[in-house]
């Protein structure tokens, strides 16, 4: 199952599905993704909030603060107090316009008829005199009549309009554009009803604007509607209506729209504020500053310096926590709601509003697609590290572009979601690559744990590319070893097969360890015979040295094993048959790889040089030596002591080969005794091939004195000399011996 899931084709299929799903999520833009991107944009504003100019902007807030409540009484205030405030602002301070972040939906509780209803036991005369008093709502209506005053109203989804829904509302809205204008009201934020002001106040006001703001799902206000709808009717927001009223020549707001929906709210054909299709603008917030605020009581008392208000756009609202108009914004966790309107107007005056173009989704989707393709293509070609670097560079460019667009163009381009997508896709692909590698390592360990040393198995597992599973031609060194006279040895275990198996294991175990310790690979066991090779599956630059050293060590370990077995035989009173080993080594080009059938295969080697190595092992008995090596092996074993044995045509081959035996390592090779032996030995072979039989015999005797361990070998040549004396080989004899046995 894991192998199927981790195949490259399946991995890429899953990755493409993930990539498609990520892009689809970006297009559908669910709330969690919106919130994620919004948090990034909040962070941008926190890093670089909108700077206030040295010359303060002409926007002020008349604050119904705790100071005002302490001096003028608790909320709600009588309407004549607001009338006095309006007179101060417009007549005395000459403000450009006044926007009320307050809705006067019910009659003043101090209006005569309201007082009469609230007071019990009044006589007729008292009621008559009260009714002659001035109506506070009428006083406020008179105060705002003909003045640049905008009343606020609340668009709401809770309940219906408290006044007659058939009564007209002041809107001052016109639609200009291409497409179906009826769709605009459906696309912008649409509410069930509107909480309106008293009709007497609406009739007197120059403008009416909605101050409804709807926070994002995380409770933060980032966008403010500049137009809203109730049913099919469209209304301006308090902020933009107050800005319009501040410019007496502008009587109507134009909503421009295109096929995709509303695009801007315009004061003139050429002067407008961009909005999204939902009728909203994203405000670029400046830090909270007390300079925007003046206390309402100071305004009413005329104690505010004129330069703070004259010519300014003024919003009347409250910072008092008890009146429940505290909002959360990107910069401030608790901000008076009235300041949002003030900051929106500041944005309009300076052109600092942020925009989130519809193309942003396309850009972000393209970023996800590009980084995904880089990972899909790059991981197999350049690896995890370089792929991560490439994706990091792309993401860094996206982050830099997003930051540049924010700081220089006021455009919001999301980066969080594309970054997360690239990270998740990278993690998925690298994890699946890791699983594939682990699966490959597991297969390698399973395939080679019986043939290689644990160290070599781990090396191969770390880099399975060293193994060409399909097979390849490679220069390798092959070793065959066998126990001579094994039949005679096995006879003493007749009726005791367990003992015979135990003996074989005692021999094969240390021999296997010697080969594995020298980076050899065990090809197979054939009874008492071992077949091994070097330079596959892992390359071995010292393959010949390792093979030769293994052969000499195997001979030495066999002597030690014989000593142990001999002591055991003496103790048990049974005859001792020493283990005699023959080793054949050859080096050449062979084919190595997995061979066999679909049901069962082995990692093995084939080729003429493999067969020759096997034949050389068989000739060790013929020449009376323990190790026989081919000429290519001898040429690569310069630090080992070797002697030529013969020119021989082995069974199954027509071409003669030169064979050698190993007598020792570098210490023997560099000894004076071996140098003398080698000289006389070569002279003997030269005399033999030149058919100088007397010289050959004399040199055989001399060599036998120098190296008694080669008695069997020199006996062989003495017998040949005796034979050739009686049966000369002829003048054309090339000195080659043809082997009749394997």
Residues 6+ apart with CB under 8 A from 505: none
Looking at residue 601, its pLDDT comes to: 62
Give the pair of three-digit tokens for residue 113: 């008829």
- How far apart are alpha carbons 13 and 19 in whole angstroms? 10
Q: Which of 386, 368, 367, 369 is nearest to 378 (CA)?
A: 386
**pLDDT tens per residue, range 233-262:** 889 999 999 999 999 888 888 888 888 888
Give the pair of three-digit tokens for residue 601: 């295969």
Q: Quick one: which H or E segment has residue 548?
A: helix 543-572
Ordered DSSP codes for 450-493: TTS-HHHHHHHHH-GGG--TT-EEEEEEEEEEEEETHHHHHHTT
Omega prior to 487 cis, within 30 of 0: no
Domain 449-670 = CATH 3.30.70.1230? yes
Under the phi-then-psi rule, with left for phi > 0, alpha for psi from -120 to 50, and beta for the rest, what region is 171? alpha
- How far apart are alpha carbons 255 and 463 in whole angstroms? 67
Ordered DSSP codes for 393-458: HHHHHHHHHHHHIIIII-B----HHHHHHHHHHHHHHHHHHHHHHHHHHHHHHHHHTTTS-HHHHH
* Number of Cβ atoms within 10 Å of the Cβ of 712: 12
What does the domain layout of the chain look like in residue ranges? 2-32+358-417, 51-349, 449-670
In angstroms, what CA-CA distances link 346 with 240, 268, 352?
11, 19, 8
Intervals of the chain under pLDDT 50: 1-6, 160, 162-166
Read off the pTM.
0.62
Vertex 118 angle, CA 112 and 121, to 5°: 100
Q: What per-residue string of b and e applies to 65-84 under the rule 16 or more CB within 10 Å gives b?
A: beebbeebeeeebbbbbbbb
Q: Which of 145, 200, 210 is nearest to 167 (CA)?
A: 200
Q: Which of 677, 673, 690, 681 is nearest to 735 (CA)?
A: 690
* Rounded (10°) angle between helices 711-726 and 693-706: 170
Residues 6+ apart with CB under 8 A from 559: none
Q: Which of 590, 561, 591 is nearest to 577 (CA)?
A: 561
Provide the 3-class DSSP secondary structure of residue 739: coil
Beta bridge partners of 294: 62
Matching residue, tokens 């405000």: 283
Looking at residue 392, its pLDDT comes to: 84
**pLDDT tens per residue, range 411-461:** 898 888 888 888 888 888 888 777 777 776 676 666 565 555 566 566 656
Looking at residue 465, its pLDDT comes to: 58
């Amino acid at each position: 199952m894991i192998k199927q899931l981790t195949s490259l084709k399946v991995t890429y299929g899953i990755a493409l599905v993930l990539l498609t799903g990520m892009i689809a999520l970006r297009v559908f833009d669910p709330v969690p993704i919106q919130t994620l991107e919004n948090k990034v944009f909040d962070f941008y504003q926190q890093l670089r909030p909108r700077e206030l100019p040295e010359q303060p902007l002409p926007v002020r807030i008349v604050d119904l603060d705790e100071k005002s409540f302490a001096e003028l009484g608790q909320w709600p205030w009588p309407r004549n107090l607001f009338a006095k405030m309006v007179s101060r602002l417009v007549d005395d301070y000459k403000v450009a316009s006044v926007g009320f972040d307050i809705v006067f939906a019910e009659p003043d509780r101090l209006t005569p008829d309201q007082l009469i209803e609230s007071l019990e036991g009044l006589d007729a005369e008292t009621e008559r005199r009260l009714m002659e008093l001035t109506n506070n709502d009428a006083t406020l209506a008179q105060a705002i009549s003909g003045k640049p005053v905008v009343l606020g109203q609340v668009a709401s989804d809770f309940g219906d309009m408290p006044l007659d829904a058939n009564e007209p509302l002041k809107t001052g809205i016109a639609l200009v554009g291409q497409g179906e204008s009826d769709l605009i009201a459906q696309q912008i934020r649409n509410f069930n009803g509107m909480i309106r002001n008293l009709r007497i106040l609406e009739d007197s006001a120059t403008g009416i604007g909605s101050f409804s703001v709807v926070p994002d799902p995380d409770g933060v206000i980032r966008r403010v509607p500049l137009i809203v709808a109730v049913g099919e009717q469209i209304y301006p927001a308090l902020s933009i209506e107050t800005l319009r009223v501040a410019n007496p020549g502008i009587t109507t707001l134009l909503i421009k729209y295109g096929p995709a929906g509303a695009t801007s709210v315009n004061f003139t054909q050429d002067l407008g504020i961009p909005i999204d299709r939902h009728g909203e603008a994203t405000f670029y917030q400046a830090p909270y500053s007390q300079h925007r605020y003046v206390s309402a009581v100071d305004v009413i008392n005329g104690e505010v310096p004129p330069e703070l208000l004259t010519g300014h756009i003024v919003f009347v609202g409250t910072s008092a926590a008890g009146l429940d108009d505290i909002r959360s914004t990107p910069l401030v966790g608790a901000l008076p709601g009235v300041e949002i309107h003030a900051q929106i107007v500041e944005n309009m005056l300076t052109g600092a509003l942020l925009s989130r173009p519809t193309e942003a989704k396309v850009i972000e989707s393209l970023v996800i697609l590009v980084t995904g393709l880089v990972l899909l293509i790059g991981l197999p070609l350049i690896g995890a590290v370089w792929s991560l670097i490439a994706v990091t560079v792309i993401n860094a460019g996206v982050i830099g572009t997003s930051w540049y667009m924010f700081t220089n163009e006021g455009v919001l381009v999301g980066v969080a979601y594309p970054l997360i997508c690239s990270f998740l896709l990278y993690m998925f692909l690298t994890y699946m690559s890791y699983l594939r590698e682990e699966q490959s390592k597991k297969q390698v360990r399973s395939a080679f744990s019986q043939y290689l040393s644990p160290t070599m198995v781990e090396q191969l597992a770390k880099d399975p590319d060293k193994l060409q599973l399909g097979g390849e031609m490679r220069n390798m060194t092959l070793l065959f070893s066998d126990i001579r006279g094994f039949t005679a040895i096995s006879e003493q275990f007749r009726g005791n097969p367990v003992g015979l198996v135990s003996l074989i294991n005692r021999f094969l175990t240390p021999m296997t360890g010697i080969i594995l310790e020298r980076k050899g690979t065990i090809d197979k066991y054939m009874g008492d015979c071992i077949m091994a090779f070097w330079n596959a599956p892992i390359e071995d630059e010292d393959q010949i040295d390792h093979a030769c050293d293994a052969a000499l060590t195997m001979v030495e370990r066999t002597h030690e094993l014989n000593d142990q077995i001999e002591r055991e035989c003496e103790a048990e009173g049974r005859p001792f048959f020493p283990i005699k080993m023959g080793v054949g080594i050859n080096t050449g080009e062979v084919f190595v790889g997995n061979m066999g059938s679909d049901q069962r295969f082995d990692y093995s080697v084939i080729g003429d040089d493999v067969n020759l190595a096997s034949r050389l092992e068989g000739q060790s008995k013929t020449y009376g030596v323990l190790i026989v090596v081919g000429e290519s092996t001898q040429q690569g074993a310069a630090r080992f002591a070797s002697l030529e044995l013969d020119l021989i045509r082995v069974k199954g081959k027509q071409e003669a080969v030169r064979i050698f035996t190993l007598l020792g390592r570098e210490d023997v090779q560099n000894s004076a005794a071996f140098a003398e032996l080698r000289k006389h030995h070569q002279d003997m072979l030269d005399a033999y091939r030149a058919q100088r039989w007397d010289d050959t015999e004399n040199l055989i005797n001399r060599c036998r004195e120098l190296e008694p361990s080669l008695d069997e070998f020199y006996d062989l040549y003495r017998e040949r000399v005796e034979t050739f004396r009686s049966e000369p080989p002829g003048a054309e004899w090339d000195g080659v011996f043809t082997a009749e046995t394997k």
